[in-house]
Homo-oligomer: A and B are copies of this chain.
Amino acid sequence: MPDNAEIMRNELGTAPGMIFSRNGLTCYVMPGVPREMKAMMTAHVIPRLQKQSGGRAIKIRNLMTTGVPESTLYEQLDNLAEIEKVVRVAFLPSLFGVKIRLMAVADDAAEAEARVAAAEKLVREKIGAAIYADEDIPLEEAVARLLLERGETLAVAESCTGGLVANLLTNIPGSSKYFERGVVSYSNAAKMQLLKVPAETIERHGAVSAETAQSMAKGVRDLAATDYGIAITGIAGPGGGTPQKPVGLVYVACGDEGEIVVERHTFANDRLGNKQRSAQAVLNLLRKQLLKKQP
């Protein structure tokens, strides 16, 4: 039995919310309809939490990193002791990168914000290049914002990711402003016919090679007449690997009017993970190229 139970009014629907307390712990139960839940959260839950915290303010900032392993970030952040004097720090790794969460608890909101800002500055001094956003958004959204800001356009040529990169980029509303087209050139015929990858390139270096990745990026950019062309070719697995070219070997490329940059990655023996890591790698390469040319 709870020590206390109350009903929260639902201003936008019929299902009420509930508040239970027991042994000093409080559970807030809200309806599942997002609109109703958000209104109830704002009107009832947050004011109670603020009151309960004795007016103390909490500020959280998520610094989103990708492309650098957690252990490397940790080594590079040799000022962590200093950072932890002003905020609590959490490293939250996933397939997509490491989220660094900074949390400040202070007597008022301005103080909490100042502490988070100071900590963010210290983090950026050490690992700024790995941070793609200061809020919890996926990499494709950060890249989309850069392209939209600059009014630039993109075309994608995919082999092992099989459409995943185009799919991620078109998950963002308004993507038609920067995403012109994608080609999923799964067969060699498609690579040669649509992307004009020379047959000799595939014969000499293989479909999974730096040369083919480069040629695909150039080919799709030429075909679509966009500012950028990106490409991915690799061996997602579980089949198709050889001793020289094992499952998980992936080349990603990014081309603009000036140059085509290629990166080689070796991931694991996990088809879906390899598709996701490859997508993340090519989007991060594009992000780096975009930032190089920062106006």
Q: Report whether A162 and B166 are in contact in the complex, using a CB–CB cutoff of 8 Å.
A: yes
Given A190-B224, A194-B194, A224-B190; A170-B162 close (CB under 8 Å): yes
Among the listed stretches A46-54, A172-180, A250-258, which one makes contact with chain B, having 4 or more residues with CB under 8 Å of it?
A172-180
- Is A238 in contact with chain B by the CB < 8 A criterion? yes
Q: How many angstroms between the C-alpha atoms of A165 and B184 in the bound complex?
A: 11
A164 partner, pick from B156, B163, B174, B190, beta carbons under 8 A? B163
Within 8 A of B (CB), among A142-166: 156, 158, 161-166
Q: Would you call A275 an interface residue if the criterion is a C-beta within 8 Å of the partner chain's C-beta atoms?
A: yes
Q: How far is the CB of A276 from chain B (nearest CB, A)?
A: 10
- Copies of this protein chain in the complex: 2
Please determine whether B185 and A184 come into contact, CB atoms closer than 8 angstroms. Answer: no
Q: What count of chain A residues pass the 8 Å CB interface test?
A: 39
Contact at B156–A184, with CB atoms within 8 Å?
yes
Residue A187 at the chain B interface, CB threshold 8 Å: yes
Query: Quick one: which of B162, B171, B179 contacts A175, CB cutoff 8 A?
Result: B162
User: How would residues 61 to 81 of chain A score, 1 for a CB under 8 Å from any chain B CB and 0 otherwise?
Assistant: 000000000000000000000
Please provide the chain A residues from 222 to 261 with a CB less than 8 Å away from any CB of chain B in the complex. Answer: 223-224, 236-240
Q: For A170, give the chain B residue with the smallest CB separation.
A: B162
Is A181 located at the chain interface by the 8 A CB criterion? yes
Docked pose: A214 CA to B180 CA in angstroms: 21
Tell me the interface secondary structure of chain A in the complex: mixed
Q: Does A271 contact B (CB under 8 A)?
A: yes
Contact B183 A162 (CB under 8 A): no
Query: In the complex, what's the smallest C-beta–C-beta distance from A136 to chain B, in angstroms?
Result: 17
A239 partner residues in chain B, CB cutoff 8 A? 173-174
- Answer yes or no: A197 CB below 8 A from chain B CBs: no
**Residues of chain B with a CB closer than 8 A to A223's CB:** 193-194
Which residue of the partner chain B has the closest CB to A187? B180
- Are A173 and B224 interface neighbours, CB within 8 A? no
A162 in contact with B173 (CB, 8 Å): no
A 253-295 to B, binary, CB cutoff 8 A, 1 in contact else 0:
0000000000000000001100100000000000000000000
Q: Is the CB of A186 within 8 A of B190?
A: no
Chain B residues whose C-beta falls within 8 Å of the C-beta of A190 in the assembled complex: 180-181, 224
Given contacts A166-B163, A167-B162, A170-B163, contact A186 B194 (CB under 8 A): no
A interface residues with partner B (beta carbon < 8 Å): 156, 158, 161-167, 169-171, 173-176, 179-187, 189-190, 193-194, 223-224, 236-240, 271-272, 275
